[in-house]
């Protein structure tokens, strides 16, 4: 079991060189890494939207998983249109400050956004627990407007902000359910948000972290099980 004082390091930073993430320079206690984002721009985007719409209407959904049951995601198309964004992050943190790192769930969400960019073309998007902000930066390459939130920085909503919040039709969150208490708080808030304003769709990605525990004498992930219990509970509402 991870204690509050334990230091945690995301696999994203451990495998940064292999995954194509370029480490930049140190800034105080943080590191700045460069992420290269492929996106579809201009007229090519409109053409690709039409092609993907026609293709998706013909293809069956084919979900691949690895030996651990985790999703294997491949990008539908690679393009020559790229942007490079620099993200300041911590190399390791305690459990309370893990939002200062980039996690695999965030990369999965980014990949999903880029592979399905027509879906978000005219959306006003709210990210909950944005952390370093990488997913919101990627979403901003296609969405009409993106609101990135995190509890670490106090913020007062203006009337203009509240109006934009009422226009939200997509909510997203990556790796914000790594403890049962946070999962309860997240879904409680999410239910409230889903009932206000416009009809919304929520996209959640999370990494299932398997660990051997002395309590169970087995490899388990009880936090993920608790997350799945919430999903089953919401299906009955």
Q: Structural domain of residue 201, as residue ranges?
A: 11-235
Considering the entire predicted model, what is its pTM? 0.78
Q: Is residue 2 part of a domain?
A: no
Asked whether residue 182 is domain-assigned, the answer is: yes
CA distance 202 to 127: 10
Find the CATH number of the domain harbouring 189: 3.40.50
Mean pLDDT across the chain = 80
Model confidence pLDDT, tens digit, residues 119-174: 999 999 999 999 999 999 999 999 999 999 988 666 778 888 888 889 999 999 99
Q: Give the residue with greater pLDDT, 61 vs 194.
A: 194
Structural domain contains residue 94: yes
Q: Note the pLDDT of residue 115.
A: 86
Domain assignment of residue 225, yes or no: yes
> Is there a domain that residue 187 lies in?
yes
The pLDDT confidence band at residue 14, using thresholds 50, 70 and 90, is: confident
Does 122 map to a domain?
yes
- 140 domain-assigned: yes
The per-residue pLDDT for range 18-71, each reduced to its tens digit, is 444 555 444 445 788 888 877 765 545 555 555 555 555 444 456 677 776 666
State the total domains in the chain: 1
Per-residue pLDDT at 49:
52
Asked if residue 171 belongs to a domain, the reply is yes
């Amino acid at each position: 079991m991870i204690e509050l004082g334990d230091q945690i390091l995301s696999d994203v930073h451990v495998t940064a060189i292999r995954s194509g993430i370029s480490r930049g320079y140190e800034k105080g206690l943080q590191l700045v890494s460069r992420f290269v984002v492929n996106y579809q721009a201009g007229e090519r985007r409109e053409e690709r939207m039409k092609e993907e719409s026609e293709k998706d209407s013909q293809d069956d959904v084919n979900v691949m998983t690895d030996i651990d049951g985790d999703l294997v995601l491949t990008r539908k198309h690679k393009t020559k249109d790229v942007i490079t964004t620099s993200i300041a992050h911590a190399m390791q943190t305690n459990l309370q400050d893990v939002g200062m790192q980039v996690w695999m769930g965030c990369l999965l969400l980014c990949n999903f956004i880029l592979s399905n960019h027509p879906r978000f073309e005219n959306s006003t998007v709210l990210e909950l627990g944005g952390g370093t902000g990488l997913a919101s930066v990627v979403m901003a390459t296609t969405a009409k407007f993106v609101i990135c939130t995190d509890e670490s920085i106090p913020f007062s909503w203006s009337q203009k902000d509240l109006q934009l919040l009422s226009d939200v039709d997509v909510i997203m969150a990556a790796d914000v359910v790594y403890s049962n208490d946070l999962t309860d708080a997240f879904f409680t808030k999410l239910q409230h948000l889903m009932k206000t304003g416009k009809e919304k769709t929520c996209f959640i990605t999370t990494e299932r972290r398997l660990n051997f525990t002395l309590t169970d004498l087995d490899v388990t992930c009880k936090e993920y099980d608790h997350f799945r219990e919430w999903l089953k509970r919401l299906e009955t509402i």
